[in-house]
Structure 1
Amino acid sequence: MHGPASSGWPLVALCAATGVYCLLRMRSNVEEQRRAAGGEALMGFGMAAMAVPAAVFSPPSWTWPGYAVVFGAAALRALWAARTGPHHLHHLVGALAMVYMAVVMSAAPAGGHADGSGGVPLVTGALLLYFAGYVLLTGARLIPVPAAAGPGLAGAGWGDRPELARACRLSMGIAMVAMLLTM
């Protein structure tokens, strides 16, 4: 996180655009869509803020513990929601990954960069494997299936289209992999 500007700005734009789309999805008529979109909007905007290049903005020292608290609360909410179904576990892993990155960044030197000289820590490696697998699985689910396109989707609003929600999740998964690679 807070890597070079060449990769930082596209990551900021991708995450912010995803966050905006997720906010718009919160207007859905489907309650589950609204609930998931709120957490995804928080993730998108949080990831965008964490990805701002350090050359442009070095956040104050209290920012990282603040991120840890916000995403810790999001993790608790996802854990509570996971009792209704396993699909909330991904939100839990994502929120915990954000807490982990915030804690690592709070321990980093004043420039806001983690010291990568010690190799890839076990937690970072495990999160990279999880999110890389998630990206591959979600990307495969975006491949159109002729039988899936039918009259049921014709009346759905753009915020209720499952392929758009999957594309949103895919972009955040890719961004998470990019952010973890810079740890």
Structure 2
Amino acid sequence: MHGGALAGWLLLTLCAVSGAVCLLRARTGPPGERGSARSEAVMAFGMAVMAVPAALLSPPGWAWAVYAALFGVAALRSLRPALRDGCRLHHLVGSLAMVYMAVAMAPGAMGSAGDGGGHLGHGAGGAGGVPLLTGALLVYYAWYVLTSAGRLLPATATVGGALGAPGAEGRGEGGGGGGAGSRSELTDACRLTMGLAMFAMLLTL
């Protein structure tokens, strides 16, 4: 990543952990959520590979085409479901953003000449991408991160405020909604992490 090896390692770790959590959700979650979890796992691991520091691995010049093809197929698969499902619409935006970043990695494409096909942001002076499109994606992911964080904050406040409330022990231990609530919070946290990682990667363009 253009931000340096430390930023690359941090993003790689966050995305890899998110991908592992998504794979776990795909195996143990409700049937209706497993397809979404698999899509998010592919996205997370793709971002992790894209974030590998150049000091560790210098990819071949055609690597961008593999990224573009993989996430182009993912975008096509998300196209029809995105018309009726907001979560799949987010997957579609994410897949298209990955295609966009992959094309920006291409040697000589969008101002990244002289890169030789390195990882995202390693072009000449880190230049790459279309400023207007990059800005629109940054705005979208900033909004997504804020709304995802907003879904987590009330739950945290409720738990903290309910410690001394009558009946709090029963709700926390056995009521039957705790597992679903914890799973939902884990999903939101995973998506928040991936949104932050995407925002950071777009900043390198």
Does the pair score TM above 0.5? yes
Q: How far did 1:23 drift?
A: 0.4
Instruction: Letter of the 2:138 partner, please give it.
Output: L
Q: What fraction of aligned residue pairs are identical, expressed as a percent?
A: 58
Instruction: Letter of the 2:150 partner, please give it.
Output: A
TM-score, structure 2 length as denominator? 0.80
Task: Please identify the structure whose Cα radius of gyration is greater.
Answer: 2
Q: How far did 1:135 drift?
A: 0.4
Instruction: Letter of the 2:15 partner, please give it.
Output: C
Counterpart residue number, 2:82: 82
Alignment of 1:5-20 (within 5 A): 5-20=5-20
Counterpart residue number, 2:148: 138
Structure 1, unaligned stretches of length 5 or more?
Answer: none
Residues 61 and 117 of structure 2 are in contact (CA less than 8 Å); yes or no, is this contact kept in structure 1?
A: no
Residues 26 and 33 of structure 2 are in contact (CA less than 8 Å); yes or no, is this contact kept in structure 1?
A: yes
Alignment of 1:143-182 (within 5 A): 143-145=153-155, 146=158, 150=171, 151-156=175-180, 161-182=183-204
Q: Secondary structure at the match of 2:116?
A: coil
Question: Number of aligned pairs?
Answer: 180
Q: 1:19 to 1:139 in 2, by over 3 A?
A: same
Q: How far did 1:64 drift?
A: 0.7
TM-score, structure 1 length as denominator? 0.89
Q: Match for 1:114 among 114, 123, 128?
A: 123
Within the alignment, does 1:93 sit opposite 2:93 as a pair? yes
Q: CA RMSD in A?
A: 2.3
Higher relative contact order (CA 8 A, sep 6+): 1
Range with greater deviation from structure 2 (103-112 or 34-43): 103-112
Instruction: Letter of the 1:84 partner, please give it.
Output: R
Counterpart residue number, 1:124: 134
Q: How far did 1:2 drift?
A: 5.7
Range with greater deviation from structure 2 (134-143 or 109-118): 109-118
Q: How far did 1:3 drift?
A: 4.3
